[in-house]
Amino acid sequence: MADAAAAPMSGAGWRKALLMSPALAWLALLIVLPHAELAVLSFREQAGLRHYVPSLSHYREFFHEPEYWHTFVRTAWMSIVATFATLCLAFPIAWVIAKIARGRAAAWLFLACMIPFWISETVRTLGWMILLRETGVLPAVLVKLGIVAHPVELLYHDTTIMVGLIYNSMLFMIVPLVSSLESLDNALIEAAYDLGANGLTVLRKIVIPHAAPGITAGCIIVFMLTLGDYITPTLLGGKDSGWFTEQIYTEFITRFDWGQGAAFGFLLLVLSTLIVIAGLKLSGQRFGDVMGRT
């Protein structure tokens, strides 16, 4: 009896395992295994020819060399600013798509946000370079308009990096915002007005609390993308953009110091995790809720 009952159970268990296997294989081969390897690399030091000893030297190196942690803090800070700016710019757009535009108009607006993403990030960023470089479109226009006497170099500034980062992040903020704003009952907004609230109070007391999971989800996605971005800071900020991913690239490819690169990679992982946790704490949201609802 017990065997008869157990047999179909284990059959179902096998089926479940089989269905899960692609995801598990993906997780194991592409996430766990490389990171385990990187962990090993980062926590050892070369003591002689093909001879390695466990050591924290790579991590110590990070804290001893001001340029490293300076870049690290700068990357984090600029990513936070870019996330916040993206949120501020994306919110009105999401509001129009979710609440003001109707039917086809809303679909077209959404499509308009999506179209740039049919082009690769590299090409899109090169587009910005064509617009902003000294011999580019925008400086020429500025000269024509008499705003500046000579063409100015608009590339390789922090602001340029910021513009590129925000541009690349917009869609990932708009999507979760639209879905959370669409679920907001218009009657709640009207009820708040009816009870004497003004636009700002409605935003603060009704709209933002309702959209909080979408806002948090959008911010997490955009922050992660920005922090880990390589192409945009490098192309728009130039060789000395001071982005931490570039630092990692340099360690791995230019200096061939895989140990140091791996340590940096882990530090970036820890940093992004800590900032996301802090963000969730600050906004009073839970990760499961946020990802489940968007």
Partner 1 sequence: MNQPDLTAQSVVKRFGDHVAVDSISFEVARGSFFSILGPSGCGKTTLLRMIAGFLEPDGGEIAIGGRTMRGVAPNRRPVNMVFQQLALFPMMSVGENVEFGLARRGVARTERRNKAGAMLERVGLAGAAAKRVDELSGGQRQRVAIARSLVLEPTLLLLDEPLGALDLKLREHMKIELKQLQAEFGTTFVYITHDQSEALVLSDHVGVMNHGRFEQIGTPQDLYYRPRTPFVAGFVGDSNRLTGRATDVAGDRVRVDTGDGWTVEARREGAVADGDAVEVFVRPEAATLSRAGESGSAPHEGTVESLLFDGAKSAVLLRERRSRREVRVALPQTGEFADLRTGEPIAFRFDAARAVCFRVRSDRDG
Instruction: Write out the residues near partner 1 by the rule CB under 8 A.
Output: 185, 187-188, 190-198, 201, 205-206, 209-210
- Which lies closer to partner 1 via its Cβ, residue 198 or residue 273? 198
- Which lies closer to partner 1 via its Cβ, residue 211 or residue 248? 211
Shortest spacing between CB 204 and partner 1, in angstroms: 11
Shortest spacing between CB 54 and partner 1, in angstroms: 51
Shortest spacing between CB 203 and partner 1, in angstroms: 13
Q: Which residues contact 93 (CB under 8 A, 6 or more apart)?
A: 109, 113, 170, 174
Encoded tokens for 217: 């989800």
Shortest spacing between CB 273 and partner 1, in angstroms: 28
- Cα–Cα distance for residue pair 69/61, rounded to 1 Å: 10
Helix or strand (DSSP H, E) at 53: strand 51-54
Q: Which residues contact 105 (CB under 8 A, 6 or more apart)?
A: none
Task: List C-alpha distances in Å: 79 to 70, 126, 179, 256, 274.
Answer: 14, 21, 24, 27, 14
Shortest spacing between CB 191 and partner 1, in angstroms: 4
- Which lies closer to partner 1 via its Cβ, residue 153 or residue 190? 190
How many residues are present in the chain? 294
- Cα–Cα distance for residue pair 265/269, rounded to 1 Å: 6
Shortest spacing between CB 98 and partner 1, in angstroms: 18
- Which lies closer to partner 1 via its Cβ, residue 21 or residue 198? 198
- Which lies closer to partner 1 via its Cβ, residue 13 or residue 209? 209
Q: What single-letter amino acid sits at 133?
A: R
- Which lies closer to partner 1 via its Cβ, residue 193 or residue 258? 193
Please report the sign of the dihedral spanned by the C-alpha atoms of residue 14, residue 19, residue 20, residue 21: positive
